[in-house]
Structure 1
Amino acid sequence: MATILFVMTGADHWTLNDGTRHATGFWAEEAVAPYEAFRAAGHQVVVATPGGVVPPVDKGSLAAEANGGQEGADRIAAGLDAMAELRRPVRLEDVDLGDYAAVFYPGGHGPMEDLAVDAASGRVLVETLESGKPLGVVCHGPAALLAAVREDGSNAFAGYRVAAFTNAEELQAGLGEKARWLLQDRLTEAGVDVRAGEPWAPNVVVDRNLVTGQNPASSEPLAAELLKQLG
């Protein structure tokens, strides 16, 4: 049995290009599906957030239309209720990577607000990458990779192949034209090799110990791949 660190957003909003705040947080399915897979495999989970705040869920991710109908929404809501770890997060600033066998970042627009510029998260990412421990990041979670900067100013993930929420998906979801920046663009500017799949279809990319997924539909196959790496 291993302990897996979930690094999650503490932001309940995403600031748009006109200065307004779009209510958000983490995307429920992207936390619930991997959590259930890891727990079913016998592993423990610890949640960490900036400052140790309770991670806010994006209310939109609980809606029936976001989960293939009301039955799916009810299942996700029940899964969320079962994640007691969400209610007692540790401070990301205090995380010792030696305590964990793997690290996982769910998405939602929240990481675009806080983890994209969070130095403690950046440190955890660089340490995980260099340790060879499995690192899973899904959807908007790769925004956190932008803070993984080495002392020379280069991004630790430059040259890595990743999947992440695409420009096409952001535009189709209705927020692309309101965004201050788009995740696919910013990752590409940092030297990260974004491998875009079809919008909304599962797309998981594995590069060394890094496992990334493009969107909510990628959460479950990403978790399966991370479990394979854990052995």
Structure 2
Amino acid sequence: MPQILFVLTGTDVWTLADGTKHPTGFWAEEAAAPYRAFTDAGYEVVVATPGGVVPTVDRSSLAPEVNGGQDGADKVTAVLDSFTALRHPVRLEDVDLADYAAVFYPGGHGPMEDLAVDATSGRLLVDALDSGKPLAIVCHGPAALLAAVRDDGTNAFAGYQVAAFTNDEETQSGFADKAKWLLETRLGEAGVEVQAGEPWAPKVVVDRNLVTGQNPASSAPLADRVLKELG
């Protein structure tokens, strides 16, 4: 069975500008919707995290109000309960890209804490980009692109068009004035071209083998596009 690699944050906190440790992790829908789509299509999903730590779900992402009601929240929770690979991650440091048909990075604020500065993840992203395999990243997941630096010091994704969680969305979520840095701004400073859509509406951007989604609502359409790229 062909495999798709999910690279998840290994942290359960996000350090704000004042030093406060805000509880976080990965965003439930951004792992659940693609997992369901990929497994339904016959792929096995393998989870990797820095150090192989069991990833933490952001508890706020399980709330009814962000899942269209209690029924939606129950469905997302049920998918995560069935996602046994979440409880048995491999070490990101041990990943062999050749084993996977595609690579996917879910979001949540967690990647802004660890993957944004993780050299191992950065090398994997560069290799995945150069391989031509589908590389999919959603919401705050593109924070990991900041660590994808080539030997000459340039960012491998400079000049690429992406979708990512926008400054407007961060403002509306109440964190823009608390964060150390904003994702859309920092990506732009690295030369990555963020194509901002309407806040909270699905938006997927494809640039060569890179497929990115703006927010949680973009997770399912992003997964569908990856499956099209895989044929």
TM-score over 0.5 (shorter chain): yes
Distance (Å, rounded) in 1 between the aligned partners of 2:168 and 2:159:
22
The residue that corresponds to 1:190 in the other structure is 190
The residue that corresponds to 2:54 in the other structure is 54
How many angstroms does 1:17 deviate by? 0.2
How many angstroms does 1:2 deviate by? 1.8
How many angstroms does 1:70 deviate by? 0.4
The residue that corresponds to 1:199 in the other structure is 199
Matched letter for residue 16 of structure 1: L
1:41 aligns with 2:69: no
The residue that corresponds to 2:119 in the other structure is 119
TM-score by length of 1: 0.99
Matched letter for residue 169 of structure 1: E
Matched letter for residue 87 of structure 1: R
Gaps of 5+ in 1: none
The residue that corresponds to 2:92 in the other structure is 92
Q: What SS does the corresponding residue of 1:176 show, helix, strand or coil?
A: coil
Distance (Å, rounded) in 1 between the aligned partners of 2:69 and 2:177:
28
Cα deviation code 1:106-136 (max 9, x no counterpart): 0000000000000110011000000000000
Mapping 1:1-231, distance limit 5 Å: 1-231=1-231
RMSD of Structure 2 on Structure 1 (CA): 0.5
Q: What SS does the corresponding residue of 1:178 show, helix, strand or coil?
A: coil
TM-score by length of 2: 0.99
Q: What SS does the corresponding residue of 2:205 show, helix, strand or coil?
A: strand
Distance (Å, rounded) in 2 between the aligned partners of 1:214 and 1:51:
27
Distance (Å, rounded) in 1 between the aligned partners of 2:173 and 2:42:
36
Tell me the number of residue pairs that the alignment of Structure 1 and Structure 2 aligns: 231
Gaps of 5+ in 2: none
Distance (Å, rounded) in 1 between the aligned partners of 2:109 and 2:11:
9
Distance (Å, rounded) in 1 between the aligned partners of 2:80 and 2:65:
17
